[in-house]
Structure 1
């Protein structure tokens, strides 16, 4: 067990009367004890068993003590009696479950029985059982394909339960065996269920926004009763309630909301029931405050308490301060004053037309006992509820013994931590020594490369100009990030639970073992040496401008924070004269909504009044508003407390953006740099980003029939295949322009393409700054984020970003377009498995997994274009000029056949 889990459990012992306010599903992934034995044999039961050697107690994942046949196997004959077979686990207290693992029968290599599919049922009180279903209503979970491999499935939504049943789904004639494990953490809130009115439907600008509790596991009618749902799933909504952090969900999914038109008394009443009597210190409620859409925080919360019998007459009231400045969603802490109760009834008063809540959590302590920390006793009845055992009483006479044990535990933990830290120090020292030896070796090779370069320069300077420029641009684009792009996700705070092959290596370790790594490092050093000679005027290109590369941007800590300086912000400097950008009056900018937060500051969607007067005559690609109406723009602002380096980077991005002139590239329109905060104003298309635009559409079954459909090719929510290819042609055209300038985008995806009138597409860089797409990025060692599902294998493992890696990302973007962005690329893989798949691309043993052919994609487009963009050898991938030419030919052939 690692240091962090030990410290976690120790704090639970030390603070036995306290409970956390929220649970984090990303961290709550601990194995609960089927494998480790913390769950006792008497807590595991089953509906039946094939034999004594396949009893329920043998159904433990990756555990074989030699006594049984290595798994639980039900008696298939009992199926004819109508009895549903199940393996039941009693966790003795409420737990928050985020993951389940299954495995077939091992039996020392003699078994070949496993469950291909299964269902899960759970209960919090042992009497009321609920069938688990995912967020789209599916109950059957795909299980194992062989008896050996562990198959892990995320529970979305998570389960809050004490009892869990695994129910295999199979043919009655087939023998089924299972071994299971549960992953999660203790549900310290103690909330058994909440009762509330059913959420309402909002109509916002013609869009249906469903604010109901779609995952509630109790009785759902006009009022929700005896269940838990969205308010306790550990995921809170975004600032803009129309979007969801969960991929593919409908507008308003994360919130439960009500309109005051349905409540004549002006408040919503909710009742919360707990497992036993508790001392409540506070309640945290996550609310939306987008007052521009009629949604505000509750005006007042009044909470009544009940230990047993009737509700107490004196409530606790709290009024949160009104906020008309920030529209961000936030947690509101309601102090409960240490009141004792087993149930709480709260009335939330409206302060506007709508009130939206996405999460409710409680801080409390046990009033008499604490069931979560009482040791289990053999022979304890399995159907007893938490708090019903009279043996769970506090013995004050053992206080001194308890204190002594705690002191001893602290001393042991301190010694373990010191030993671990000492080992880490020695490992770092050894790594530095090995790096120093490698550097000495590379230095010797570098001297040889420098001499060879100087000789070649003097003998054939004219013939090597073009090739050296190309090599320099390619190596410089990727070299600055070598080693960083392939970093691991840092030391995990919980035990690794995803099943990877035995030869899997973390990216940072994997690249050190690659047979070509030493040669790559040698070539990289030679390239950097050549670039240094060129900058000093020694090489054949002396005096020519050179391109600089920006580092990967650090990600700020905190929920929902992301870096905005991706793609175009990380472009190389363009040679040539600087373009002029005019100063725009700040008072003409009207705030509409916040798009996201980035490296420099915030990104806002605004309307710019009179922007047409500031546009250059050579800006035909900018969509001008009709009738002098304000123009929709995106405004990036620099933090007022930004340091000098951040200010210089911001100004450098302005210089880079001012030079881009292409119909399919987002244009820098104006700046506000006369006073702080510094701002850059870029165009923003009226239809938003391409990902959300396509996600709302459906593919038409036939060609357009009327002249209007031929002209538009997007009728209602139906889009033609021809229009999709037109979008791809425009993106390829924009990337062809960037590649002609030696610009490497690094983050090409549909989220970074904007859609205008008549489906005009322009490439941008807003995707990383938006909370909506934070699931598309993978955090590297807590410092940087990478869009690994769009990145080539050499970008992930070697940190090389080139035109060829942008070609790889274009093919993934084309795949998104042809699937209408209904799924995330490699959606069946976890982030770690995506990284492992890139290792298969490097090894090139035929085990790599490609994105499948979209249903509407012709075979030649998939095989001749997309697969060619995903070739292992970057030099064999087509250029953007070739890609644009192929897509134009495909488009012309479609027009000819129409």
Structure 2
């Protein structure tokens, strides 16, 4: 902003545009947006560029002219001297150097300010070489499967020296003729090859990286439309070259594609383990499984690998480790370890003296109480953490029968599948969402389940803890009876699979009063703990099984059995054939093309109230055991099949059961707010005291039930507080705390009577003691709400 504040060419700009402004980013960057502005100079400047060209380079030697997806080179610039004009770079640029060439349609003076928006290109890929894509003809219409944004050269049917659509971050859909970009041709999202046109049985792609890296996993997003002769590749063979002057490693790494990936007709990423091999150049051969192969994106999970090259007398290069900074690194690590040990010693010393002082105080208080007959109590000035009251005592859970929770099961050397035909675990898993933390409340026993969520917390059990007499062994189910159907989701410690038990009546250990006709399979959900899970995670998994085994209620998902005789540990729970309530209700709306206000639900009000009554009944049962769910929402309620023969959704015909799978599913990732490095929280369903103080109680579950009821009456057509950002939802929780009348409530749905909306508002009462109990809610929904149509 000081002075003229812009760059101006030395002379007037001609249409040929030979002068440029060059930006050196010092390293490779991924650039997605560019901004330009003219020279204002407090009203004295009048120069600006109406258009410009961009050229970029990754090495400073080869320069590439940027073009948009339709081949246009000229970027429209500014219309005045003061407005900032932002332009999306489609396709994005991977470069270290960027040059701006201001243009003019006549000889004139221009000035320019520029801004680049992007991030570091940590992938390190410089170029890839691949065959040119082909054209597919479907019903007489051409589908162009070429790499239209490739910025390298093309010779003899091979493109080399550049980057393109295989690394632009855009994933193609199931139908490759449809695209995610506007005004582009069919097939734009994919690069595809025909076996007949290529005249060979594989597609060879070579990847050149900036430096040598250790490659752990390659992920290939591929299409698998069998009806058009399109299948994912059947196998891959990869060769690794650690350096430019080093030979190719041998033998090549051969990887077969899992059978379920060949059968599934949807497009998806396929993960291939590379074993951490070092390479600067990779060459992979993707074998055809049918007439066509379509790939949308390729990504690598890798880390840096430093080597130096030295030469023998014969002049051949060999690799050696770079140990020049080893002494410095070891010295730093030793210093950090000593510092940590000092801190730990100080903390332990303080705790030791605090215990001694506490015992002295207790002896003095006991002596005083014996002499004066005054009841013993904690002095009000002392912290409640040092003197917990009786209602903050944590009940102890009994160990699982027949299992040593301290020792757990012995770790295995390999990761076996959880049951026959189950999908294998990926060699390197993507980061899973963090589980909900143990907040400041001392009266919460939280379990880190497979789904990544501490589903059932146990606050202040007034009844005595289960004794050994109550401890019955969990039913052990044979793994071979589980038939894999699909993966429901994944969490921090494992996965959730949908399976079938083909003959459930033949399993005597199946403790479930199911009503399944003979010969029909039973749908079940299988929670699987990862074989490499920690000891604490294994113990929590077994404890969660014991807790779930106590939950016997018609509206709570039942634990049918476990597989704990060998790794991986599995919990088998029932699953409802109609899926979760959110998806069930969101598809019960008839869309009217005349406008969104004419959309009408195809489910009746009595049916919605009957479903809500079942959820309230299940929560009443949980609250009677002093269990807190902490994630009640329609996504965590499962819907069963119709009980009647006539069809339709009359009240009560579809059973509803409360579950805990929502957080593990990518479908509902947007419902959870991530606190950096700590937790993932469903803040739009949480009471204000949960968000601000971490206080989870049955009353906070009542708040979440009010939001769940709002979802159901809105037929799950929008997210709660959809007009607010996550940060504004947190701010709204602060308004509830301050209670100045500025808090925002969810609005009344169109089909919701005022009396039922008043029930929702009572669930959202600021004072948790004034919120209704689940027994009162259930009574209202079964007796009064049905008369409010």
Q: Which aligned pairs between 1:47-446 and structure 2 lie closer than 5 A? A: 53-55=4-6, 91=25, 94-97=28-31, 124=56, 128-129=65-66, 160=94, 183-185=119-121, 188-191=124-127, 197=133, 231-232=166-167, 265=199, 269=203, 285-287=218-220, 297-300=233-236, 320-322=254-256, 324=258, 329-333=270-274, 348-351=286-289, 358-361=297-300
Partner-residue secondary structure (3-state), 2:786: helix
Q: Given that residues 483 and 501 in structure 2 are in contact (C-alpha distance below 8 angstroms), is that contact kept between their aligned partners in structure 1?
A: yes
Matched, 1:798 2:739: no
Q: Given that residues 456 and 627 in structure 2 are in contact (C-alpha distance below 8 angstroms), is that contact kept between their aligned partners in structure 1?
A: no
Offset of residue 601 of structure 1: 5.4
Task: Point out where structure 1 has 5 or more consecutive residues left out of the alignment.
Answer: 1-49, 58-86, 112-118, 134-138, 140-145, 167-175, 203-209, 247-252, 306-313, 367-405, 460-517, 536-549, 551-555, 703-708
Question: Which residue of structure 1 aligns with residue 525 of structure 2?
Answer: 634
1: CA distance, partners of 2:146 / 2:224: 22
2: CA distance, partners of 1:618 / 1:215: 59
Q: Given that residues 235 and 359 in structure 1 are in contact (C-alpha distance below 8 angstroms), is that contact kept between their aligned partners in structure 2?
A: no
Q: TM-score, normalised by structure 1?
A: 0.50
Q: Are the structure 2 counterparts of residues 345 and 647 from structure 1 closer, same or farther at C-alpha, using a change threshold of 3 Å?
A: closer
For residues 334-387 of structure 1, give each alpha carbon's deviation from its aligned partner in whole angstroms, at most 9, with x where no partner exists. 9999798xxx99752223687666424599999xxxxxxxxxxxxxxxxxxxxx
Q: Given that residues 615 and 669 in structure 1 are in contact (C-alpha distance below 8 angstroms), is that contact kept between their aligned partners in structure 2?
A: no
Offset of residue 849 of structure 1: 7.3
Matched, 1:559 2:430: yes
2: CA distance, partners of 1:636 / 1:256: 35
Out of 649, 657, 665, the position equivalent to 2:556 is 665
2: CA distance, partners of 1:439 / 1:154: 62
Q: Are the structure 2 counterparts of residues 524 and 802 from structure 1 closer, same or farther at C-alpha, using a change threshold of 3 Å?
A: farther
Partner-residue secondary structure (3-state), 1:636: strand
Q: Are the structure 2 counterparts of residues 627 and 286 from structure 1 closer, same or farther at C-alpha, using a change threshold of 3 Å?
A: same
Matched, 1:686 2:625: no
Offset of residue 806 of structure 1: 1.8
Q: Given that residues 456 and 628 in structure 2 are in contact (C-alpha distance below 8 angstroms), is that contact kept between their aligned partners in structure 1?
A: no
2: CA distance, partners of 1:629 / 1:636: 22
Question: Which residue of structure 2 aligns with residue 762 of structure 1?
Answer: 657
1: CA distance, partners of 2:256 / 2:739: 62
For residues 555-591 of structure 1, give each alpha carbon's deviation from its aligned partner in whole angstroms, at most 9, with x where no partner exists. x995244651645555578878678975545443222
2: CA distance, partners of 1:106 / 1:435: 64
Offset of residue 683 of structure 1: 1.0
Offset of residue 803 of structure 1: 1.0
Highest CA radius of gyration, 1 or 2?
2
Q: Given that residues 302 and 315 in structure 1 are in contact (C-alpha distance below 8 angstroms), is that contact kept between their aligned partners in structure 2?
A: no
Question: Which residue of structure 2 aligns with residue 874 of structure 1?
Answer: 768
Partner-residue secondary structure (3-state), 2:388: helix
Partner-residue secondary structure (3-state), 1:748: coil
Higher relative contact order (CA 8 A, sep 6+): 1
Q: Are the structure 2 counterparts of residues 279 and 787 from structure 1 closer, same or farther at C-alpha, using a change threshold of 3 Å?
A: closer
Q: Which aligned pairs between 1:475-554 and structure 2 lie closer than 5 A? A: 522=384, 525-528=387-390, 531=393
Q: Which aligned pairs between 1:592-611 and structure 2 lie closer than 5 A? A: 592-596=485-489, 602-611=495-504
Q: Are the structure 2 counterparts of residues 635 and 227 from structure 1 closer, same or farther at C-alpha, using a change threshold of 3 Å?
A: same
Question: Which residue of structure 2 aligns with residue 736 of structure 1?
Answer: 620
2: CA distance, partners of 1:234 / 1:195: 20
2: CA distance, partners of 1:157 / 1:854: 44
1: CA distance, partners of 2:756 / 2:144: 40
Offset of residue 755 of structure 1: 2.7
Partner-residue secondary structure (3-state), 2:617: helix
Q: Are the structure 2 counterparts of residues 618 and 418 from structure 1 closer, same or farther at C-alpha, using a change threshold of 3 Å?
A: closer
For residues 595-624 of structure 1, give each alpha carbon's deviation from its aligned partner in whole angstroms, at most 9, with x where no partner exists. 45567755332211222466999967x5x4
Partner-residue secondary structure (3-state), 2:485: strand
Q: Are the structure 2 counterparts of residues 430 and 783 from structure 1 closer, same or farther at C-alpha, using a change threshold of 3 Å?
A: same
Q: Are the structure 2 counterparts of residues 779 and 437 from structure 1 closer, same or farther at C-alpha, using a change threshold of 3 Å?
A: farther
Offset of residue 121 of structure 1: 11
Q: Are the structure 2 counterparts of residues 213 and 429 from structure 1 closer, same or farther at C-alpha, using a change threshold of 3 Å?
A: farther
Note the aligned Cα RMSD (angstroms). 7.3
Offset of residue 631 of structure 1: 1.0
1: CA distance, partners of 2:479 / 2:766: 49
Partner-residue secondary structure (3-state), 1:526: coil
2: CA distance, partners of 1:606 / 1:157: 42
2: CA distance, partners of 1:365 / 1:848: 52
2: CA distance, partners of 1:155 / 1:280: 28
Q: Which aligned pairs between 1:749-828 and structure 2 lie closer than 5 A? A: 749-757=633-641, 760-770=655-665, 773=668, 786-814=681-709, 817=712, 818=714, 820=716
1: CA distance, partners of 2:357 / 2:88: 47
Partner-residue secondary structure (3-state), 1:875: helix
For residues 258-292 of structure 1, give each alpha carbon's deviation from its aligned partner in whole angstroms, at most 9, with x where no partner exists. 6979878475757779899x999989641379999
Q: Are the structure 2 counterparts of residues 647 and 348 from structure 1 closer, same or farther at C-alpha, using a change threshold of 3 Å?
A: closer
Offset of residue 666 of structure 1: 1.1
For residues 450-483 of structure 1, give each alpha carbon's deviation from its aligned partner in whole angstroms, at most 9, with x where no partner exists. 99999xx999xxxxxxxxxxxxxxxxxxxxxxxx
2: CA distance, partners of 1:647 / 1:93: 44
Q: Given that residues 605 and 635 in structure 1 are in contact (C-alpha distance below 8 angstroms), is that contact kept between their aligned partners in structure 2?
A: yes
2: CA distance, partners of 1:527 / 1:262: 78
560-569 or 424-433, which deviates more: 424-433
For residues 58-114 of structure 1, give each alpha carbon's deviation from its aligned partner in whole angstroms, at most 9, with x where no partner exists. xxxxxxxxxxxxxxxxxxxxxxxxxxxxx99664764125899999x999xx99xxx
2: CA distance, partners of 1:120 / 1:891: 66
1: CA distance, partners of 2:52 / 2:499: 48
1: CA distance, partners of 2:454 / 2:276: 45
2: CA distance, partners of 1:886 / 1:321: 60
2: CA distance, partners of 1:443 / 1:106: 74
2: CA distance, partners of 1:690 / 1:847: 33
Question: Which residue of structure 2 aligns with residue 403 of structure 1?
Answer: none
Q: Given that residues 511 and 561 in structure 2 are in contact (C-alpha distance below 8 angstroms), is that contact kept between their aligned partners in structure 1?
A: no
Question: Which residue of structure 2 aligns with residue 745 of structure 1?
Answer: 629
1: CA distance, partners of 2:54 / 2:160: 17
Q: TM-score, normalised by structure 2?
A: 0.55
2: CA distance, partners of 1:214 / 1:871: 58
2: CA distance, partners of 1:770 / 1:339: 36
Q: Given that residues 777 and 785 in structure 1 are in contact (C-alpha distance below 8 angstroms), is that contact kept between their aligned partners in structure 2?
A: yes
Q: Are the structure 2 counterparts of residues 303 and 180 from structure 1 closer, same or farther at C-alpha, using a change threshold of 3 Å?
A: closer
1: CA distance, partners of 2:7 / 2:471: 75
How many residues are treated as equivalent by the alignment? 626
